[in-house]
Amino acid sequence: MKCETIIKARYAETDQMGVIHHAVYPVWFEVGRTEYIKVSGLTYGELEKKGIMLPVSELTCRYLNPVKYDDEVILETCITKLSFARICFQYRVLLDGKVMATGTSMHGFVSSETFKPVNLKKVMPEYYQKLTESVESDNND
């Protein structure tokens, strides 16, 4: 499964170089991740209500071409790895078919009360199964 989100670059997101500031891309990635989770059958808000959070443990970003104010980019989000304890997302920012930036984020499943690791397969077996299938379909594409 690959999730596509349209994002329009905001004026407030530019910097004095005249391009979108590099710290904005992780914010966009999060928008794509939210969308991906929703498409996979849950909302991130529901996850949090079930006491599960996905804090970012690692983030990478490569900036290939500058995105400018009012550009309407397509953000592609997919899952590259999934285990009981962690999930990895991959992102591509496209403008008119051209790759502007790529990125990854790794997240642990943690309890929203204790901030301690949670085994997603135990806590939400059905949802875990669903996610696994969507990762497999990604890898088969």
Whether the Cβ atoms of residue 87 and residue 10 lie closer than 8 Å to each other: no
138 catalytically annotated = no
Q: Taking a C-beta distance cutoff of 8 angstroms, is the pair 109, 86 a contact?
A: yes
CB of 76 to a copy of itself, least distance (A): 18
Q: To the nearest whole angstrom, how small is the minimum distance from the Cβ of residue 55 to a copy of itself?
A: 6
* H-run or E-run covering 115: none
Tracing tokens 């059958």 back to the chain, one arrives at: 41
Q: How many residues does the chain have?
A: 141
Interface region with a copy of itself, contact rule CB under 8 A, candidates 47-55, 76-84, 87-95, 131-139: 47-55
DSSP string, 121-141: HHHSHHHHHHHHHHHHHHHH-
Residues 59-78 that bind a copy of itself (CB under 8 A): 59-63, 66, 69-70
Please select the residue that binds a copy of itself; options are 1, 4, 44, 85, rule is CB under 8 A: 44
Pick from 115, 117, 137, 139: which binds a copy of itself (CB under 8 A)? 115
| Pick from 6, 7, 9, 4: nearest CA to 67 | 9
| Residues tagged active-site | 15
Q: Which stretches of the chain bind a copy of itself, using CB under 8 A?
A: 8, 10-12, 14-19, 21-24, 26-27, 30-31, 34, 43-45, 48, 53, 55-63, 66, 69-70, 112, 115
